[in-house]
Structure 1
Amino acid sequence: MSTLKSFFWWCAGVHKETLSQFPEEHSKYVSIGATIFFTGLFASLAGGYALFFVFSGSSLAPLYASFFGMIWGLAIFNLDRYIVLSMNKSGSYGKQLLQALPRILLAILIGIVISRPLELKIFDKEIKEHLRVEYLKQQHARIDTLNHTFESKYQVEYTQLQTLKRQADSLESTIKTSRQQLNHEIFGTKTMVTSGVLGYGTHAKRKEENLKKEEIFLDTLRNRIQNKENQLLVRKEKEGLLDQRILSETSLDSAVNIAGFADRNTALANLHKNADGTENDSTKYAVIFIALLFIFFECLPVFVKLMSAKDPYDVALHNQRTVHLFESTSNIDIEKNALNQLIPQRIDIAIQKRLDKLTESYEMSKKSG
């Protein structure tokens, strides 16, 4: 327990020797240090999970995710530790709040960043189901687009094909009517287009000949339609349209499992939208509340430090800083005064040496002259 307490004190950035003098404050700074530690731990998990999808499909993905998660967690831990450590409790509450405001904004930003990957994991099943639907829609839309492009490209051929089909449909209806009239003629049924004479007579033979001609022409139309469809089918095959298939269950599961971070993030953002365009408020609020929870958790060390009253440890630490600042200032002043005294002395010595040299030179020139 002593080792764990010392570790959490280190996480909180306290001065161990000073805090040891105030046992009543130990628990508070253990809590602050634990909050900072677990915030970094959650950040490490979130960062590793996010990078796992960046390198998904690679055999080294777990290794990369673990390494990046550790680096990201240490970076967030260091930022949180600095935020709490740098807050000064010696000023007024308004001054402390103003001082903490940039740190709170930074904590909110960090909370948003680390909450997103964990939200992706929490809603993993719902995201996969949403991706299945989206991938199927995209595949259908792609096939429809390719077919529409192909039909636009060969619009003349498709127009001819539709014309032939309409002629064949119309001729089939005519043949049906002609066959009915032939039966009426043979059985002697009197109508506007039949003679009413019973038996296979001249009128029946003529109608049968016309019916055979119509059937022959219908067969010709059907052959032309078949040839036209075969031509278009060959062109579709050459342009790769026949290779487009609706994703099977296995292919769809594989595509969902290797979906990247961007696709999952987009799916999470659209998770509250139903298929009919309405919004699912429960899912929407759940995502928002989870994000707010992580933001609050990230801001918690700052709030605890901000809301806590000025304790004896803060007073002692402030006094120590004041003494160290005074000593540093005094040492600087002493060194500055000593330097100010030393400079004139060195200048006088240099001038005296120069005068001695000039005097010596003058005496020597006087003797030689």
Structure 2
Amino acid sequence: MEKLTNFFWWCSGAHQDTLGNYPAEGNKYVGIGATIFFTGLFAALSGGYALYFVFSGDGGAIGYAVLFGLLWGLAIFNMDRYIVSSINKNASASRQFLQATPRILLAVLIGIVIARPLEIKVFDKEIRDQLRVTYLDRQRASIDTLNHAFDSKYTIELGKITELKAERDSLEATIKADRLKLKLETFGEKTVETSGIVGYGPYAKQRQADLEKQEQYLDTLRSTIRQREAFIQQRKQFDGLMDERLLTGAQLDSAVNRAGFADRNAALGDLKYHSDGTVNSSNYWSITFIMLLFIFFECLPVFVKLMSARDAYDIALKDRQAVDIHRSGKDRDAEMAIVDGVYDIKVQRGMDKHKAQLWED
């Protein structure tokens, strides 16, 4: 426990020799040091997890993640340790607040940076589902864009096919009606357009001839449509439209596993809203409170240092600093005196030498 206490004192940036003389203040700095240590630990986990997705698919992804996580955690730990230790408790309250303001802003920024990768890990399952929806939507949008570009490129050809199909449909309806009239003419049913004479007479023969011509033209029309549609299919194949398919379940899982940090971060943001753009209250507040928790955790050492009263350790530390400053001042004066003495000796020697030269002359 003594080694652990000394370690957390070191983490808090306290002067251990001075703090050891005041056991009553030790627990406070143990708490501050432990908070700083665990903040650095969370930063290491967060940074390593984020970088793991940057090198996702690379054989050395785990090694890079561990290395970067350690460096990032040490950097945040060192920064937090400096932030807390640099607050002077011997200054006035307003002075302390001014000292702490930029440090609190920096702590808020660090808290946000640390929280984001950990939020992504907490909502991993929901993010995977959201990524599946996002990738399918992107695929549909890509296919729609290609189809729209193709339609714009071959507007004339597609318009002609539409006209031919309309003509075909109209001709098929006409032939169907003419067949009914031929049937009525043959059986002798009297209508406005039939003679009412039973048998295959001249009127029936004329209708049969007209019907055969229409059917021949319909066959020609259908053949033309098939040729034009075959041409359009060839152009689609050439332009790559036939190769575009919606992702299957296995392909979606593979794409989600390869998703990088940016896609997962965007998916986490999308979880806050429904598909119609309205706020998803449950996810929105869950994500927000997790981020606020890490921000508060990051700012906690600074707040503890600010809220704590000026204690015996702070007074002793101030006195020790004053003694060190005084001692360094005396040492500096002694050094200057020695330098001045050496200078005087050299000047005196120079003068004596000059006098001897004059006497000789």
TM-score norm. by structure 2 comes to 0.96
The superposition leaves residues 21-61 of structure 1 with CA deviations (integer Å, 9 ceiling, x where unpaired) of 21212211111110000000000000001100100011110
Give the AA of the match of 1:155: T
**Which structure 2 residues correspond to residues 277-296 of structure 1 after superposition, within 5 A?**
277-296=277-296
d(CA) in 2 for partners of 1:27, 1:48: 31
Q: Post-superposition shift, 1:19?
A: 1.5
**Which structure 2 residues correspond to residues 83-162 of structure 1 after superposition, within 5 A?**
83-162=83-162
**Which structure 2 residues correspond to residues 326-365 of structure 1 after superposition, within 5 A?**
326-360=326-360, 362=361
Q: Which residue of 2 aligns with 1:43?
A: 43
Q: Post-superposition shift, 1:204?
A: 1.5
d(CA) in 2 for partners of 1:8, 1:223: 87
Question: How many residues get paired?
Answer: 361
The superposition leaves residues 86-116 of structure 1 with CA deviations (integer Å, 9 ceiling, x where unpaired) of 1111111111111111111111111111111
d(CA) in 1 for partners of 2:148, 2:346: 95
**Secondary structure class of the residue paired with 2:350:** helix
Give the AA of the match of 2:165: K
d(CA) in 2 for partners of 1:359, 1:54: 87
Q: Which residue of 2 aligns with 1:212?
A: 212
Structure 1 unmatched runs, 5+: 363-369
d(CA) in 2 for partners of 1:354, 1:115: 78
Give the AA of the match of 1:81: R
**Which structure 2 residues correspond to residues 1-369 of structure 1 after superposition, within 5 A?**
1-360=1-360, 362=361
280-289 or 337-346: bigger deviation: 337-346
RMSD, aligned α-carbons = 1.4
d(CA) in 2 for partners of 1:352, 1:248: 102
111-120 or 19-28: bigger deviation: 19-28
d(CA) in 2 for partners of 1:332, 1:168: 108
The superposition leaves residues 218-260 of structure 1 with CA deviations (integer Å, 9 ceiling, x where unpaired) of 1111111111111111121122221111111111111111111
d(CA) in 2 for partners of 1:101, 1:358: 71
95-104 or 199-208: bigger deviation: 199-208
Give the AA of the match of 1:83: I
Give the AA of the match of 1:131: L
Moved over 6 A (4+): none
d(CA) in 2 for partners of 1:279, 1:285: 10
Q: Post-superposition shift, 1:268?
A: 1.6
d(CA) in 2 for partners of 1:241, 1:296: 52
Q: Post-superposition shift, 1:172?
A: 0.7
The superposition leaves residues 276-309 of structure 1 with CA deviations (integer Å, 9 ceiling, x where unpaired) of 2222122222222111111110000011111111
d(CA) in 2 for partners of 1:186, 1:355: 158
Give the AA of the match of 1:251: Q
d(CA) in 2 for partners of 1:125, 1:189: 74
Give the AA of the match of 1:198: V
TM-score norm. by structure 1 comes to 0.94
d(CA) in 2 for partners of 1:101, 1:148: 55
Structure 2 unmatched runs, 5+: none
Q: Post-superposition shift, 1:341?
A: 4.2
Q: Which residue of 2 aligns with 1:367?
A: none
d(CA) in 1 for partners of 2:359, 2:262: 88
Q: Post-superposition shift, 1:194?
A: 0.9
Provide the identity percentage. Answer: 55
**Secondary structure class of the residue paired with 2:346:** helix
